[in-house]
């Protein structure tokens, strides 16, 4: 039997438990979103949790509307309060049209808050200050728990009357019924012509900032491209058009420029792999100019008519019968060949034999004198006098020398030159080096000296008769011009105010390194040397003619000025009584902070300029008494 007292205590305990539960429920109601009981939620003893409303963003008031009467089946809509920073209604031209806002709620408030807020929403510090003109450049007046604009633009003048472009206050067609500004009429339209590249000044098109609407283009005019009615090529003078005078190799700087076809490589038989003068057979050797280009029926390389004629094996060499000239020349050649082959030792240099009043030049080379006749090349003159001691013309060279010389001429494109431009060819050391190596391998060192001497004379004449016609950037091959212009276009990333500031560009090693890497990749190492040399001359001129105009923190880009001023403002945290340079520079965190801030706000390329300024600033501070 239960005691009445025990029953009484049990009842008291139950009452206290209910009271405590109710108290906790009342307190929790101020902290948690209200739950709305739905009809049938407790049927069959099952509890179905009501959906908890998603917390509103920083742009809402954060307050929730209480659920409607439990009798109703639906709750009333939750009001959303738009941040007052976000623009609404008519926006005045020239003011910020904010489309999205962020908040400093929960953030540390200091001089870095602006940078942190910009980074959080993926915009630059400069953009943040542009969108929030009331915030000081040093971020000194930013406030806690406050909304700031993080996405938007400066409201442009709208072409409400259908008139656009410079004659109409630079009114834009965007946001109006007709989206494209015709550069010929400066009226908004939607036709294909209105929106075409080269005609559309701005609006729903790439616009005049990319494609010229005046016919002026290239690096002289902001690197604008040619399109539409202006043609598709920009020549060296910065004019658009079509045809060779605009698109031709050496005159075209941008657009559909003509690129000369690369000369085909030498035939396979020229680079034969025979090591002993044999060809075909089980080794499948191919002939080369060293042993003769033709693989005869006996599997021996040679260059006589008997080697290149009947029975010649074309799969292992060249089977084109060599040109032997006139019958008299051929007979003289045979006679000379007979005389030279009968001697016990054949000189590798040219042998001159006079027959029937004609001077015949014989060039002999044989790897196996006992097995086959010597390869012979002959030319005749109409005079019985000894040949002139001056360097002969190309026709007087032995066939191997002519072949090497013509091969090097055919490499003009790889050497960065136009065809038969002797002055350009001879300015590239690979021309003379190639002639030297080819003639040494094909003719032998003794005969090669004649070929090399001819090349030297050819270049001496080219230098003596050259008259400069084109200088500067236009003298570069098209691949070099493209690389140079690409580096100029990177001026912003290189921390310079414009592509015309050559002194600033050349003070950043990434400019010369970029020109070097681009030209090596686009032109090849041989031609790249010309482009790199031009870049060096460009920078030498820039340094020689530079006159310092802006110094101090004012010479830094905006992001660098912000970082530097932010660090000055941290003087108290750096243990200084004031922004005293000597005191600040004694604390390594001043330099570290400037480094980290500029790398983050400006990028590593531009940051080097800011860091260098900081180093100079501290050097001056510590040097002064």
| Residues annotated within a binding site for heme | 421, 580
Token code pair at residue 542: 């820039």
Token code pair at residue 260: 């000369």
Contact indicator for 242, 198 with CB cutoff of 8 Å: no
Look at the alpha carbons of 383, 384, 385, 389 in this order and tell me if their dihedral is positive or negative: positive
Angle at 311 between CA 305 and CA 316, to 5 degrees: 90
Contact indicator for 236, 249 with CB cutoff of 8 Å: no
**What 3-state class would DSSP assign to 278?**
strand
Token code pair at residue 187: 């009226």
Contact indicator for 166, 186 with CB cutoff of 8 Å: yes
Rounded Cα gap, residues 198 and 459, in angstroms = 46
Neighbour-count burial of 270, counting CB atoms closer than 10 A to its CB (0-12 exposed, 13-18 middle, 19+ buried): middle
Order of strands across the sheet that contains 252-255: 240-241, 233-235, 252-255
Look at the alpha carbons of 264, 267, 273, 277 in this order and tell me if their dihedral is positive or negative: negative
Q: Count Cα neighbours of 143 within 13 Å in the Cβ-side half-sphere.
A: 7
Name, in order, each residue with C-beta under 8 angstroms of 401's C-beta and a sequence gap of 6 or more.
439, 442, 443, 447, 448, 450, 451, 454
**What 3-state class would DSSP assign to 266?**
coil
Helices and strands counted in the chain (H then E): 18, 13
The binding site consists of: 421, 580
For the chain, helix, strand, coil in percent to 5 are 40, 10, 50
Rounded Cα gap, residues 527 and 504, in angstroms = 26
Between the alpha carbon of residue 168 and those of residues 24, 93, 98, 172, 209, the distances in Å are 68, 14, 25, 9, 18
Q: How many CB atoms lie within 10 A of CB 223?
A: 18
Token code pair at residue 479: 């691949």
Start-to-end Cα distance in the chain: 101
């Amino acid at each position: 039997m239960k005691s009445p007292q025990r029953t009484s205590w049990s009842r008291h305990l139950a009452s206290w438990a209910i009271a405590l539960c109710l108290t906790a429920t009342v307190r929790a109601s101020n902290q948690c979103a209200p739950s709305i009981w739905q009809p049938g939620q407790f049927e069959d003893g099952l509890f179905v949790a009501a959906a908890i409303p998603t917390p509103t963003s920083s742009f809402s008031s954060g307050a929730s509307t209480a659920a409607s009467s439990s009798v109703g089946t639906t709750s009333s809509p939750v009001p959303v309060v738009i941040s007052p920073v976000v623009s609404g209604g008519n926006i005045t031209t020239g003011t910020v049209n904010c489309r999205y806002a962020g908040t400093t709620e929960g953030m540390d408030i200091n001089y870095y808050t602006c940078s942190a807020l910009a980074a959080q929403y993926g915009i630059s510090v400069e953009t943040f200050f542009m969108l929030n003109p009331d915030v000081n450049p040093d971020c000194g007046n930013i406030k806690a728990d406050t909304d700031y604009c993080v996405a938007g633009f400066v409201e442009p003048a709208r072409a409400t009357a259908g008139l656009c472009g410079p004659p109409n206050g630079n009114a834009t067609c965007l946001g109006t019924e007709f989206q494209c500004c015709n550069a010929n009429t400066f009226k908004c339209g939607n036709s294909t012509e209105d929106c075409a590249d080269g005609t559309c000044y701005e609006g729903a098109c790439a616009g005049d900032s990319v494609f010229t609407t005046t016919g002026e283009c290239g690096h002289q005019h902001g690197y604008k491209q040619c399109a539409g009615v202006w043609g598709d090529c920009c020549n060296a003078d910065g004019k658009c058009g079509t045809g060779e005078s605009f698109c031709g190799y050496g005159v075209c700087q941008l657009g559909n420029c003509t690129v000369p076809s690369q000369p085909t490589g030498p035939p396979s038989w020229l680079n034969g792999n025979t090591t002993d003068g044999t060809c075909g057979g089980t080794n499948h050797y191919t002939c080369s100019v060293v042993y003769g280009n033709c693989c005869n029926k006996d599997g021996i390389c040679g260059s006589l008519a008997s080697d290149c004629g009947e029975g010649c094996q074309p799969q292992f060499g060249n089977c084109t019968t060599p040109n032997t000239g006139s019958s008299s020349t051929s007979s003289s050649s045979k006679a000379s060949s007979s005389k030279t082959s009968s001697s016990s030792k054949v000189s590798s240099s040219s042998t001159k034999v006079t027959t029937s009043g004609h001077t015949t030049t014989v060039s002999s080379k044989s790897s196996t004198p006992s097995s086959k006749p010597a390869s012979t090349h002959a030319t005749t003159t109409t005079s019985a006098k000894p040949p002139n001691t001056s360097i002969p013309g190309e026709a007087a060279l032995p066939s191997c020398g002519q072949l090497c010389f013509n091969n090097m001429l055919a490499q003009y494109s790889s050497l960065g030159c136009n065809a038969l431009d002797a002055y350009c060819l001879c300015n590239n050391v690979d021309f003379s080096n190639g002639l030297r190596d080819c003639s040494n391998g094909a003719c032998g060192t003794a005969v090669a000296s004649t070929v090399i001497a001819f090349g030297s004379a050819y270049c001496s004449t080219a230098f003596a008769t050259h008259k400069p016609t084109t200088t500067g950037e236009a003298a570069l091959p098209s691949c070099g011009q493209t690389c140079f212009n690409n580096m100029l276009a990177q001026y912003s990333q290189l921390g310079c105010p414009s592509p015309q500031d050559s002194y600033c560009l050349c003070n950043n090693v990434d400019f010369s390194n970029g020109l070097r890497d681009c030209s090596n990749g686009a032109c090849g190492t041989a031609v790249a040397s010309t482009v790199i040399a031009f870049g060096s001359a460009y920078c030498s001129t820039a340094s020689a003619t530079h006159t310092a105009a802006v110094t101090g923190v004012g010479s830094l880009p905006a992001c660098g000025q912000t970082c530097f001023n932010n660090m000055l403002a941290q003087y108290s945290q750096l243990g200084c009584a004031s922004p005293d340079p000597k005191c600040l520079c004694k604390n390594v965190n001043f330099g570290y902070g400037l480094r980290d801030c500029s790398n983050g706000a400006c990028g590593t390329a531009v940051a080097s300029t800011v860091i260098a300024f900081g180093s100079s600033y501290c050097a001056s501070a510590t040097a002064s008494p």
